[in-house]
Structure 1
Amino acid sequence: MSFEDIRVASAQLLATEKRTAETVQETTPDVITADIINFAQRLGSEPPRFLPVIDDPYGCYGWCSDGVDAKVRVAGGSPVFGWTIWEWPEALLTAEFHSVWKSPTNDLFDITPKPKGEDRIIFVPDPSYPQNFNFDNRPRNQRMRIWADIDKGKEAQVLLTQLSQSQHAYESRRAEQAGVSLTKWLERKVPSDPIAAAIDEVIAASDVFEAHYDSLGVGGSQIRADARLLALMKRKELALAGFKALWASR
């Protein structure tokens, strides 16, 4: 595609995404929390930082690297690769590989427009990707749940104090047969938090869908959709719907 073709396709995609932007829960976090710092340490060697999103004629939604390359050709500077961190508040973080523009004065700007109109992003530069990195070979999204699961160790201790003498003897025998301590055995009896389990399923379904999607082609009309892709898409949709229902009723 020529850059003009990319600009046309980008504008169309952005307009489409804007129409459904209100249903998208993920956005730029308000603050850089400890969870975000820990997540960023998995992504690159530099700390997370806020970057301004600027209105720029070369910014291309869906083709961020092409837009930055065009900006560099006209205004100088260089591309910087790294990760944008999005947050579903209280639920999960998503890291999306991204390209931003470093100006000739070494300031970083995100020139890619956002469907929800965010005016800043959290960005984690990753210097392991050089300026000439082929963005088509970018890594897939990464995710981390920030909703805390039930503390099973603590709950097991509560269960332990509630056991009668006969129950204690019975559970101790079961634990011994399983080759674990009584506390660990009781932890197995503590159910997971349903919201935490739902978020974990969203992450797992998204990861496996994206991995298979990437294995099929370079994207867009060149993707060779198969039965597995459709099944994984359905799993992802069901996981997201199930989580949203739990989240709304919490």
Structure 2
Amino acid sequence: MKMTDDEIRADAAQRLTDERNNASKVTETTPQGITAEVERFAATLSETTPLLVPVIDDACGRYGWCSDGVRLKVEADGGEAVYGWTIWEWASALLTAEFHCVWRAPDGILFDITPKPRFEKQIVFVADPTRPADFDFDLRPRNSRMNIYGPKAHAARLERLKASLTPSKQAYERRRAEKSGLSLEAWLEEKTAADPVAEAVDALIKACDAFEAHYDALGVSGHVAIDRKFEELHLTRIAAQKRFAALVRTIPGQAI
């Protein structure tokens, strides 16, 4: 049953309060800038360029109900809804794209009026021009994710291995690679050990994707009727999050 605007306002306020009371447990936030990794990820989502969009306090903003808040804003002040993706980052290791709605003011400037649990002042937003202003937000696509730690860690391990080889040893490995029809880099890649953090990121992505796919398959929104598979996937996702959170602390410069 469709909720009224008053019910949405009350639900949004309670959700925001709950999230802010647990702000120390929030692991994802806005990337510090439009990095090369953010650009690569954005290119998988839309043909538009990612932008830094300011978050503003607005009485129409509804946490967890972005499209409804923007609808109210358009009714009050004009402009239009713009749909696309917010990109979040977790510890320089994982990017997550969440489908979102922002407000385009009558002068054409984009603003995010949806309040944030960690009081972020801006978001990374990638507009999706294939979604019209009257898009049904209930039909939004699921979250998308990218492992940004794994490729960097792998490249660093490969460089360390190459640097450790003497010229004669490197020539020897190159000859062995050529006999196998491989480049030296591809040959050495087979010798690099797996990175536990990178594997944990991949496992988390897989667990989140599986959980969200099953959630959507239930055909409901809001409160769901929990079945055994839902519970199993939820527990798997929580375990993957905990493992990653523990391992990501080993990344130099991380303090989460």
Bin for the TM-score computed over the shorter chain: 0.7 to 0.9
Residues 91 and 248 in structure 2, CA contact (< 8 A), matched pair in contact too: no
Partner of 2:217: 215
Structure 1 stretch 181-190 or stretch 204-213: which is displaced more?
181-190
Residues 149 and 192 in structure 1, CA contact (< 8 A), matched pair in contact too: no
Deviation at 1:187, TM superposition (A): 3.9
- Deviation track 1:41-62 (CA, whole Å, cap 9, x = no partner) reads 1111111111111111110000
Number of corresponding residues: 242
Deviation at 1:144, TM superposition (A): 0.8
Identity of aligned residues (%): 47
* Gap regions ≥5 residues in structure 2: 252-256
Q: 1:154 to 1:135 in 2, by over 3 A?
A: same
Q: 1:107 to 1:142 in 2, by over 3 A?
A: same
Deviation at 1:217, TM superposition (A): 2.5
Out of 116, 119, 122, the position equivalent to 1:120 is 122
Equivalents in 1 of 2:168, 2:197: separation in Å? 28
- Deviation track 1:134-182 (CA, whole Å, cap 9, x = no partner) reads 0000001111111123247657768987999xxx9xxx7xxx9xx8759
Alignment of 1:1-250 (within 5 A): 1-147=3-149, 148-151=152-155, 187-221=189-223, 223-250=224-251
Equivalents in 2 of 1:199, 1:227: separation in Å? 25
Structure 1 stretch 60-69 or stretch 16-25: which is displaced more?
16-25
- Deviation track 1:180-209 (CA, whole Å, cap 9, x = no partner) reads 759657644432111111111111111111
Structure 1 stretch 1-10 or stretch 183-192: which is displaced more?
183-192
Structure 1 stretch 153-162 or stretch 12-21: which is displaced more?
153-162
Structure 1 stretch 148-157 or stretch 23-32: which is displaced more?
148-157
Q: 1:155 to 1:163 in 2, by over 3 A?
A: farther
Equivalents in 1 of 2:187, 2:250: separation in Å? 31
Equivalents in 2 of 1:35, 1:13: separation in Å? 31
TM-score (norm 2): 0.85
Equivalents in 1 of 2:64, 2:76: separation in Å? 20
